[in-house]
Amino acid sequence: MSLTFTRRRASSAVLTAALLVPLAACSSGGDAKEDAAGSTPSGSASAAPRANLTVLAAASLTDVFKTAGAAYEKAHPGTELTFSFAGSQELVAQVSQGSPADVLVTADTKSMDKVKADTGTPAIIAKNRLVIATGEGNPFKVDELKDLADTKLKVVLAAPEVPAGKYSKQILDKQGVAVKPVSQEPNVRAVLSKVELGEADAGLVYKTDAASAADKVDAVEIPDDQNAIAQYPAATIKDSKNAEAAAAFVAWLSSPEGQKILQDAGFQKP
């Protein structure tokens, strides 16, 4: 009887231990959820905390940031990115007026400088350059900048306060080319749209914009010594309620993964 009793006690102890394992797991469930909701261990793919981030980005980043956003959300479960694309001057005005947002990315450093009191230290994440966009097949045989001075051509440019407009004026003035645009658009994608729809014969856009519509427009290269290089600074917004997550996204844009997406879209290395 003593042996039987000992065996029963041993069996009871094993059963009790087995029952305590799931109970312990249940009791730590809250901590696991807190870890998932907050920061995960350093070096993991989802090291940034969960957040819903609003990113104000230059219009020329429309296509590539949609790709980048999907990649970032996949690598950082629980983070959602909402993009607002517009001309840099519009984005700067929104920040100045206190519109709620977490990250700002402009197409030039001068625009970013206007809100330096409202942002963190910016980092250049990419560069770009201008090309002449024409209708598919280049029906008017536009070969160089001076061809844009032909009064028979309907040329459209970005407005002077828009980075693409500033760059356009810079390179045209440098070459002594006088252009009378039929319209001046609020952002570079609007310029591209005019050419795509046949409402303009030619326009100055970024190389990446022309590439995004390669089936509808042709791109005429502009030599380096006649061109301008656009720089894209990215910065967190100081009033962001998701400061840590915003900083993580800005840092990711300069990471190998972020840079590959930008460069695959035709942007130059920063």
Digit-coded pLDDT (tens) for 121-157 = 999 999 999 999 999 999 999 999 999 999 999 999 9
Predicted TM-score (pTM) of the model is 0.81
- Of 96 and 25, which is predicted with more confidence? 96
CA angle 12, 14, 18 (to 5 degrees): 115
Which residues, in sequence order, are CB contacts of 137 under 8 Å at separation 6+? 218
Predicted confidence at residue 50, as pLDDT, reads 79
Burial of 268 (0-12, 13-18, 19+ CB in 10 A): middle
Q: What is the mean pLDDT of residues 91-114?
A: 97
Predicted confidence at residue 190, as pLDDT, reads 97
Q: In 10 A of CB 167, how many CB atoms?
A: 23
**Alpha carbon distance 149, 166 (integer Å):** 18
Share of the chain above pLDDT 90, in %: 81
Q: What is the mean pLDDT of residues 237-253?
A: 97
Q: What is the mean pLDDT of residues 36-53?
A: 53
What is the radius of gyration, based on Cα positions, of the chain?
27
**Alpha carbon distance 67, 258 (integer Å):** 10
**One-character DSSP codes across 119-158:** B---EEEEEEEEEEEEETT-TT---SGGGGG-TTS-EEEE
Predicted confidence at residue 47, as pLDDT, reads 57
| CA count, 13 A, side-chain hemisphere, 165 | 21
Continuous segment of H or E residues that includes residue 57:
strand 52-58
**One-character DSSP codes across 234-253:** EEEBTT-S-HHHHHHHHHHH
Share of the chain above pLDDT 70, in %: 82
Which residues, in sequence order, are CB contacts of 56 under 8 Å at separation 6+? 84, 86, 91, 94, 95, 101, 103, 104, 105
**Alpha carbon distance 138, 142 (integer Å):** 7
Q: What is the mean pLDDT of residues 184-204?
A: 97
pLDDT in tens, 110-131: 999 999 999 999 999 999 999 9
**Alpha carbon distance 214, 223 (integer Å):** 20
Q: Is the confidence at residue 28, as pLDDT, over 50?
A: no
- pLDDT confidence of 16, banded at 50, 70, 90? very low
Predicted confidence at residue 96, as pLDDT, reads 97
Predicted confidence at residue 7, as pLDDT, reads 40
Q: Residue 251 has which token pair?
A: 């840092």
Mean pLDDT, all residues of the chain: 87
Q: What is the mean pLDDT of residues 41-62?
A: 76
Predicted confidence at residue 21, as pLDDT, reads 39
